[in-house]
């Protein structure tokens, strides 16, 4: 029964992919029929993506990917460490959770584009201009931190009551041994989902910020490559770089999808 359900899910996923391709082909055909080349056909985009990755401009493409991932990882590691620490404390001490609630909600609601504009105004001076290249790190932190904070806090808050009672009998519920040995493990479905969601969102926000700072910074990055191709009028390359970003996010999501399915089986 489970095998049939899995096959059915795979079939409909494939059909969904085919549907997206058909819509893309139709939209491209209608635009080209009206002498508008703004949307290349899917096969042209796939061929160009392969060329950018392995043939022409491959060195530039891989450097751009490396710079983007480097910036994201800086902001994401800081988000994870601080989110883990503060999320755990907020779960253990409700007064601390109430104290942080306003700042967490502000970070969650603040428009990221507005932050980029403010940071550009701050760092455009001759002595601080070098810091513009790290604006995507700040954006990544602002976006990822509230999600990771919530994932740790909610994961610990939703621990089974019977397990909590049993742990209290064994010793200090908040001891590092119990936190790392039992409670974080039980909270992993929340934590893993939070990591996957925040990293995917961070990737999109980082590329968006690279596009916005492209005129102020000449450093590499997928966002910078996208805006350069847009200015050169090569829309096919713009879509190809966007597809490369999508492929990277999909590869990052795969381990978390596998872990999620494994947890569902064990649960």
CA–CA gap between residue 213 and residue 135 (Å, rounded): 8
Is residue 187 within 8 A of residue 118, CB to CB? The reply is no
Q: State residue 196's pLDDT score.
A: 84
**Rounded to 5°, angle at Cα 210 from 147 and 141:** 25
Instruction: Give me the DSSP letters along the chain.
Output: -HHHHHHHHHHHHHHHHHHHHHHHHHHHHHHHHTT--SS--HHHHHHHHHHHHHSTTHHHHHHHHHHHHHHHHHHHHHHHHHHHHHHHHHHH-HHHHHHHHHHHHHHHHS-HHHHHHHHHHHH-STTTGGGGGGHHHHHHHHHHHHHHHHHHHHHHHTS-HHHHHHHHHHS-TTSHHHIIIIIHHHTHHHHHHHHHHHHHHHHHHHHHHHHHTTTT-----HHHHHHHHHHHT-HHHHHHHHHHHHHHHHHHHHHHHHHHHHHHHH-
Q: How far is CA 183 from CA 153, 154, 179, 252, in A?
A: 11, 12, 5, 25
Query: Which residues in the chain show pLDDT less than 50?
Result: 218
Q: State residue 129's pLDDT score.
A: 73
Q: Where in the chain are the domains?
A: 52-266
In sequence order, what are the residues at sequence separation of 6 or more whose Cβ sits closer than 8 angstroms to the Cβ of residue 183?
Answer: 156, 159, 167
Q: What is the CATH number of domain 52-266?
A: 1.10.3720.10
pTM: 0.82
């Amino acid at each position: 029964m489970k095998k049939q359900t899995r096959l059915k899910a795979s079939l409909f996923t494939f059909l969904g992919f085919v549907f997206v391709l058909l819509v893309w082909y139709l939209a491209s055909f209608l635009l080209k029929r009206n002498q508008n080349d703004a949307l290349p056909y899917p096969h042209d985009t796939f061929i160009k993506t392969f060329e950018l990755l392995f043939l022409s401009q491959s060195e530039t493409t891989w450097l751009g990917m490396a710079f983007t991932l480097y910036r994201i990882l800086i902001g994401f590691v800081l988000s994870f460490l601080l989110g883990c620490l503060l999320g755990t404390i907020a779960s253990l001490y409700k007064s601390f959770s109430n104290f942080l609630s306003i700042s967490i909600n502000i970070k969650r609601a603040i428009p990221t584009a507005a932050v980029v504009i403010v940071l550009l105004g701050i760092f455009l001076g001759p002595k601080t201009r070098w810091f513009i290249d790290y604006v995507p790190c700040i954006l990544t932190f602002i976006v990822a931190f509230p999600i990771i904070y919530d994932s740790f806090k909610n994961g610990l808050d939703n621990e089974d009551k019977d397990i909590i009672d049993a742990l209290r009998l064994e010793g200090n519920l908040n001891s590092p041994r119990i936190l790392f040995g039992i409670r974080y493990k039980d909270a992993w479905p929340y934590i893993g989902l939070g990591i996957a969601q925040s990293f995917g969102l961070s990737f999109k926000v980082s590329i968006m910020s690279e596009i916005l700072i492209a005129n102020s910074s000449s450093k590499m990055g997928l966002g910078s490559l996208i805006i350069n191709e847009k200015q050169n009028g090569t829309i096919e390359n713009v879509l190809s770089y966007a597809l490369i970003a999508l492929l990277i996010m999909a590869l990052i999501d795969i381990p978390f999808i596998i872990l999620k399915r494994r947890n569902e089986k064990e649960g």
